Amino acid sequence: MLLKNRFYTVESTSTEGNAHKLVVKIDANHSIFKGHFPQQPVVPGVCTIQMLKECVSDLLGKCIRYTSIPSCKFISSIIPSDDAVELSIVVGNENTFQAVVSLNGAVMLKMKANYTEQ
């Protein structure tokens, strides 16, 4: 499933081998933030995980789906702002990837995931 109306835009991508760095801009005016939460919007965790899946799909040029997420640690909430979010993604050889999501140098999320092609 791809988000039809993405709450983010990939502004740049750099690749070195199987390591990728993406700079992502969060749309603070997106409708998902009206209910999550109106007084202090945060990016829902499930949306962050979906964003990673979509970005890996784009990097690989094929649609993927998660088969498992052996580890996922949310360290801090992502507050939508003018600051860009950095995704560091390392794609493994056997349908795996590791990701770190950072904002202003602070780690927000660390995750390891397994996937299959759809």
Tens digits of residue pLDDT in 57-92? 999 999 999 999 999 999 999 999 889 999 999 999
Percentage of residues in the chain having pLDDT higher than 70? 97
Banded model confidence at residue 1, pLDDT cuts 50, 70, 90: very low
Residue scoring higher pLDDT (41 or 34): 41
Residue 36: pLDDT over 80: no
- How far apart are the C-alpha atoms of 40 and 31, rounded to whole Å? 14
CATH class of the domain comprising 8-117? alpha beta
Residue 54: pLDDT over 60: yes
pLDDT of residue 37: 80
Q: What are the tokens at 106?
A: 């602070």
Confirm whether pTM is higher than 0.75.
yes
Residues whose CB falls within 8 Å of the CB of residue 36, separated by 6 or more in sequence, listed in order: 42, 44
Domain residue spans of the chain: 8-117
pLDDT of residue 40: 87
- For residues 33 and 21, the answer to whether their CB atoms sit within 8 Å is no
- Phi/psi of residue 52, nearest 5 degrees: -60, -45
Q: What are the tokens at 44?
A: 């829902």
Mean pLDDT of the chain: 93
Residue 2: pLDDT over 60: no
- How far apart are the C-alpha atoms of 13 and 84, rounded to whole Å? 13
